[in-house]
Amino acid sequence: MVMLAAVVAVGAAAAGCGNSSDAATAKAALRAAASGRPPSTVSQHTSPPAQRFPSYTATALQPQVDVHSAPNGPVSATLTNPLPDGSQLTFLLTADNSQSAGGWVQAYLPIKPNGSTGWIQASAVKIQGDPYRLVVTQSTHRLDVYNLANLERTYPVAVGAPETPTPVGTFYITELLKTTNPGVYGDYAYGLSGHSPTLTDFDGYDAEIGLHGTGDPSSIGHSVSHGCVRLNNADVDALVPVLPLGTPVQIQA
C-alpha cells in the first residue's frame, strides 16, 4: 500500500504491498518527491471547456478546499493543500460538470468510500486537460497506457491477492513518491485515490492503494499484493516523466 497522510504514513502503507514482515522497516521506505510532472500537453482553464481531452484535472489554488454535496449545497468535507509530502492537492473531474457555467465542478475525491464525489467552486482550482489515462485489467495482469485515444504502452503487473483484492473502479494519481528503499518498491511509487476494500488500516493509517515498482519481479503477472498494483521497476521509471497528478486510473476485473 502507499499512504498519503505523511512520510511515516507513506512508509507504513507501502508495507501492505509487500510481506507483513516488512512492516517494521517500511516506515521509512518512501519519501515524497517534489511533485508529479505536468502532462506534455496541457490546456488550462478556470472552468471546463468543450471536451478536448479525455479527462480534466483540478489543482487546488488555496490552502483548503471545501467540498460540497451539491452546487451551493452544504460542505461535506474540507481538504488541505498541499498534502503532507508537499504535493499539490489534485482532483480528477467527473464527466458530469453541468454546473460549470455556474462556477462549480464535480470531482472524484481521495477519501472513503471509493468512488466518492463532490462539488468544488471552480475559482478554488486550476483546471487542466490530461491526455493520459491508465486501464488496469486484473484478470490479464495488464496495465494499458492511453494517450488520447491511442494505446501507447502496455505493461505486465501484479495485483491484489484474493483475500486482499485490488479495488475496482475509477481512481486517479494523487502523488508521486521517490523511494528510499528501491530494493523493495523500485525507484518510484504513485499514490492513488482508492482504498483497500478489505483492509481498514496499516499501523493505524488508512489502507490506501498505490502503483509502484517491486523488488520481486517474479511476482509480476500474479495476484499476490495487499491491493497495490506492482510494475517492473523499469516500467514505473518510464511513466514518471509522462503522467501528471490527477491522471485517471480505471481498474477493472
- Give CATH 2.30.30.40 domain extents, the chain: 44-130
Q: Identify whether 226 is a catalytic site residue.
A: no
- List per-residue pLDDT tens for the chain, 253 residues long: 433 333 323 443 444 465 432 322 232 333 333 333 433 334 444 444 556 899 999 999 999 999 999 999 999 999 999 998 899 999 999 988 766 768 999 999 999 999 999 999 999 999 999 999 999 999 999 999 999 999 999 999 999 999 999 999 999 999 999 988 888 889 999 999 999 999 887 556 678 899 999 999 999 999 999 999 999 999 999 999 999 999 999 999 9
Q: Identify whether 212 is a catalytic site residue.
A: yes
pTM of the model: 0.83
| SS3 call for 101 | helix
Beta-carbon contacts of residue 21 (< 8 Å; ≥ 6 apart): none
- Give CATH 2.40.440.10 domain extents, the chain: 7-35+132-252
* The predicted structure's pLDDT at residue 209: 94
Annotated active-site residue in 141, 195, 212, 226: 212
* The predicted structure's pLDDT at residue 204: 65
251 touches 136 (CB < 8 A): yes
Q: Which residues pair with 12 in a beta bridge?
A: none
- What is the 3-class SS of 89-154, one letter each residue? CEEEECCCCCCHHHCEEEEECCCCCCCCEEEEEHHHEEEEEECEEEEEECCCCEEEEEECCEEEEE
CA–CA dist 235, 238 (Å, integer): 5
* The predicted structure's pLDDT at residue 25: 28
Beta-carbon contacts of residue 117 (< 8 Å; ≥ 6 apart): 94, 106, 107, 108, 109
What's the topology of domain 44-130? Answer: SH3 type barrels. (2.30.30)
160 touches 225 (CB < 8 A): yes
Domain 7-35+132-252 has CATH 3.55.40.20: no
